[in-house]
Structure formats: C-alpha cells, structure tokens
Amino acid sequence: MLLNKDHEPLRFGFLLAPRFSMMSLSSAIEPIRVANRLLGRKAFDWCTCSTDGQPVMASNDLVLEAGAVDEATDRIDALVLCGGTRLTAAQERPIIRALRNANRRKRAIGALSTATHLVARAGLLAGYRCTIHWENLPALREEFPGLIVTEAVYEIDRDRLTSSGGTTAMDMMLHIILLRYGPDIANEVAAQFQHAKIRAHNEPQSGWRQRNLTYQPPAIRRATTIMREHIEDPLAIREIADRAGISERQMERLFTTHLSLRPMHYYLMLRTERARELLSYTDKPLVEIAVAAGFGSVAHFSRWFLHFHDQLPSQYRKASRTGA
C-alpha cells in the first residue's frame, strides 16, 4: 500500500504527542504537499490528530489544531506518531491504545524522532527494522534488547516506517515518493527545499561527537569507535591502543593534541554520556545505569558524572524530567 502508486491518495494521519517536534512534522508533510503540486493531483493526503481531539502544543510552544485519532483512523492508510520530549505514563497510555487500534485495523504504523520508543512499548515493532534519534538509541536497546534497532537515518520495513528525527523525515518521505513515482519527481521535490541529496535509508546518523571526529587522524577514529563499542564492558587503554594499531604512548599524545583530553578521560566522558541518555529516557535505577555505563559502583559513577556534567546523576534526572 505505501509503495503502490495505483492506491491514491495515500493518506497519512500524524498523531501529535504532547511537546512533539515541529521540525520532524514539517519535514514529513512538506514533501508530500509539494509532490501533489508537481504531480497536479492529490496523490497524498494527510491530517493531524491527537488522542482527545484537542489542539497540541509542540516543543517550540506553537499550538496545532488536531482532530480525534479514532475518527482519523477510519480514513487513513498510515498512522505516524510524532514524538518529542519524554512523556509521563499517563500521557503514554492513550497514545499506545491509539497505535494498537490502528494496527488492529491494518493501518501502517510510523514514528518520527523519539516516537519509536512508544511504538515499541505498544508491541508493534517485533520483527521489524527500526531506528530512532541517536540520543535515544542506547535507551531503546536497553529496554528492548530483542528489537532490530539500526543507526540508519530512517527505516521502511513493510508496513512500518521510522525516522531518526529532524530532516530525516524529509528523506523518508522523499524515498516513498521516489518508489511510487520515480527519481525525477522525487528529485524535483527535493530541489524545492534546496535538499541536495536524498539520503538512502541505510545511511548512518551522525551525532555531534561522531561528526566532530570526522577530520581527526584515523587512529583516533579507530580508538573512539572501539570505546563506543565497549561502554558496558570497558577495555584497558592499552588494549584499545593495540586494537587501534598504535602504541599506548602514541594514543596519549594523539588524544591530548587533538581532543585536549587523555584517552582515559575521553573514555570516561563517553560512558557518562551514555549514562546521561539512560537517565533521560529510561526509569532504570542508578545502580543499573552505572553498570550499563561500565562503572563498578554508583559512587564511582556519580563522581565522574559530576566531573563532566556539573550535576549528580539524581540531580540531572530530576532536571531532565521537569525541564529545569
């Protein structure tokens, strides 16, 4: 259905979670709006909806009108959840009910940005490839170790579509346009947005730290990749250097010169960043988060978290939940 161009219009319902990402929503809607104009017909249709039919405030404080999701589900082909900031359990429950209802009625299910987590909690991603914003990857993998979670910018797997946030929703929709109507129309739509290249689904995300390492010496890139792969089971710096093909002394010099940190401190920083993501996006107790970040005790973990983030883990968690 998603890729069958004989099925027109293809109707999307965008379910707006409280404090949803306006960037992701706009990036999903605008390509299909322009595709309609260039094709000269309504090849796509869409609506915005909420669990109670009331307007919804985005994370940028703009408020969008929305119809009731149950009514929207009657006339759509795909229900796409637009995520944003973390929700309370009370906010999540009606969203999960709406997703399950749409799935029972054979609607395709999608997620933008952080929303993949809720679709997983609804039990609708087993056996499907999916992706999520790079900040949320560790938390999603911790909570759902059996899921096929990739680091791709977006994933379209049968009747499931997930994007990793921001403008990746545009690439995902452009890919649907390409598969339905060919590369000429897709590229023409992309050009309307000064979007030079339609990213393939299997292109990896680039978090800020990975991108900042792009122009660093290859040995640094190899060493930091090894570090990221061994957060829960940290390796000795000497072993990382061996695996990266350099001496421990060379590694010390390279990190100090190019990253202004000794390798051990850089490694500790990466591990506390993993912990920070788990503090924000999971309810795991501190002892489990400490273990997941490779620390032997909560005290050791707390000391280094305070060193790099100027707050104790408990203080950071409280601030991230209240928006302080």
Peptide bond connecting 9 to the previous residue in cis, omega within 30 degrees of 0: yes
Selection from 142, 137, 141, 177 nearest residue 153 by Cα: 137
pLDDT, position 321: 64
Helix boundaries (H) for the chain? 22-39, 69-73, 89-104, 116-121, 137-143, 168-181, 183-192, 208-212, 218-229, 237-244, 248-259, 263-281, 286-292, 298-309, 313-322
| pLDDT tens profile 74-130 | 999 999 999 988 888 899 999 999 999 999 999 999 999 899 999 999 999 999 999
Q: Assess contact for 21 and 83: CB atoms under 8 A.
A: yes
- In the predicted model, is pLDDT for residue 262 greater than 90? yes
Class of residue 1 by CB neighbours under 10 A (exposed 0-12, middle 13-18, buried 19+): exposed
Amino acid, res. 306: L
- Quote the CA–CA distance of 224 and 220 in Å, as a whole number: 6
pLDDT of residue 157: 93
Which pLDDT does position 208 carry in this prediction? 46
CB burial string 4-20: b at 16+ within 10 A, e below: eeeeeebbbbbbbbbbb
pLDDT given at position 201:
74
pLDDT band at 253 (very low <50, low <70, confident <90, very high): very high
pLDDT at 196: 76
Instruction: Please tell us whether the domain made up of 10-192 is placed in CATH 3.40.50.880.
Output: yes
Domain ranges of the chain: 10-192, 208-322
Give the N- to C-terminal CA distance of the chain in Å, as an integer. Answer: 44
Q: Which CATH architecture has domain 208-322?
A: Orthogonal Bundle (1.10)
210-229 pLDDT tens trace: 546 667 889 998 999 999 89
- In contact, 146 and 126? CB cutoff 8 Å: yes
Residue 312 confidence (pLDDT) above 50: yes
Q: What average pLDDT score do residues 165-180 get?
A: 92
**What is the tens place of the pLDDT at every residue in 22-65?**
999 999 999 999 999 999 999 999 999 999 999 999 999 999 99
pLDDT in tens, 273-310: 889 888 877 888 999 999 999 999 999 999 999 998 88
- Mean pLDDT, the chain, integer: 90
